Structure 1
Amino acid sequence: MKKILYNLSTLLLSTLFVLYVMRAFLGEFISRLIPYANVIFGYSLFVCLVLIFNTMVNMILYYAKNKKIYISKFGFGVFSLSYIVLLVSVLFSRNSLGNNYTSNYVPFKTIFGYIFGKADFIYIFSNIVGNIIIFIPLGCIVYYYFYRKIKVSICIFILILFVILIEYLQKKYIVGSFDIDDILLNSLGVYLGIKILVGAGDKKSKNYFEKW
């Protein structure tokens, strides 16, 4: 009973904190960062942020008491599910613009266009940094669930193929364009996500995972 009350109290604290931050600071920023964001995106982002903050609180409290890092499998599983919903809503929630989308097959053409085209900073951040950051959790999630079964190099290769598939589906269903630069940025994101969990080496990472 005590543990249940503890978990509920930390979850409530996380919910109230994220609700305040989103209402006070993130509303306008998100609307500029992702102008096509819809209701599903808003709710999924809220859930993701709550779970991330709740996990951080529990990690800090557990570490302060036991001097060890611990993340529950259930908490990571719920976060994984909410992240997938968030990712799908970001990638496929845009309205169809017919033939207004243009494809790019030249590496770095779009990236250099953002940087040297004197675009608004928030637009550059959304299309360059945002395309990296949003795929970092995907690398973490896939590696966490499959590190016992496949090598790191195979995991990276599969995720890059998945990123290419996403670009193809966006073009096919006219909710985006096929851009080689998006593939490069997204692939960098999943690579960083995997490297975050790999840490100093596979053996150390696997021993760490066993404690979760």
Structure 2
Amino acid sequence: MLKKFYKFIILPYAIFLLYLMFFGMGRLQYEDNIVRIKPIVSTIWFVQETISWLDIIRIVLGNVVMFIPFGFLGWIFPQLKNLKNLVITFVSAIVIVEALQYFSRLGVFDVDDVILNTFGVFLGWQIKRVLETKLSKFVVE
């Protein structure tokens, strides 16, 4: 039952997430194309420059939590059950999205986003594994 629900909800969820990444939360087009390629630096800078802990939690944690559902893609695409294949596929996709943000100037190409988003996928994959191994009789099918 959970797999069926996931198959039904993941595409609209992905579209909603893309909307947020390009247009949501009052996003405006930047005047310049911006690239942040030093890992962890932009996240540290963001934390230092942000007054509100709520904003820090919302953005940093959001970059992880919002991508957890993609860790379950192996339920739809059997070749993505393997963590290595999932991560390679996801990183390829998220780099394209980050590049589109850069070229459209509707966001920033930020390597920290790639790292945090990928960590979210990894957490999702781990959660999926636990569900499949410990609760398969009750939850997964």
Which bin holds the TM-score, normalised by the shorter protein?
0.7 to 0.9
Tell me by how many angstroms 1:211 deviates. Answer: 5.6
Q: Percentage identity across aligned positions? A: 23
For the Cα contact (< 8 Å) 2:7–2:76, is it kept in 1?
A: no
CA RMSD of aligned residues (A): 2.6
For the Cα contact (< 8 Å) 2:34–2:102, is it kept in 1?
A: no
Mark the runs of 5 or more structure 2 residues left unpaired by the alignment: none
Alignment of 1:122-201 (within 5 A): 122-140=54-72, 142-147=73-78, 151-199=82-130
The answer to whether structure 1 residue 98 and structure 2 residue 28 are counterparts is: no
Change (3 A) 1:104 1:175: same
For the Cα contact (< 8 Å) 2:79–2:85, is it kept in 1?
A: no
- Distance, in Å, in 2 between the alignment partners of 1:154 and 1:76 is 20
Tell me by how many angstroms 1:107 deviates. Answer: 0.8
Mark the runs of 5 or more structure 1 residues left unpaired by the alignment: 1-69
Name segments (4+ residues, structure 1) moved above 4 Å. Answer: 207-211
- Distance, in Å, in 2 between the alignment partners of 1:90 and 1:170 is 11
Change (3 A) 1:211 1:116: closer
Change (3 A) 1:148 1:193: same
TM-score, normalised to structure 1, is 0.56
Alignment of 1:1-212 (within 5 A): 70-71=1-2, 73=4, 75-93=5-23, 94-99=27-32, 102-140=34-72, 142-147=73-78, 151-199=82-130, 204=133, 212=141
For the Cα contact (< 8 Å) 1:160–1:187, is it kept in 2?
A: yes
AA aligned to 1:160 is V
TM-score, normalised to structure 2, is 0.81
DSSP-derived class of the 2:15 partner: helix
- Distance, in Å, in 1 between the alignment partners of 2:52 and 2:140 is 45
Alignment size in residue pairs: 137
For the Cα contact (< 8 Å) 2:2–2:139, is it kept in 1?
A: no
- Distance, in Å, in 2 between the alignment partners of 1:117 and 1:95 is 20
Change (3 A) 1:83 1:145: same
Larger Rg: 1
- Distance, in Å, in 2 between the alignment partners of 1:193 and 1:187 is 10
Tell me by how many angstroms 1:152 deviates. Answer: 2.2
DSSP-derived class of the 1:122 partner: helix
AA aligned to 1:91 is M
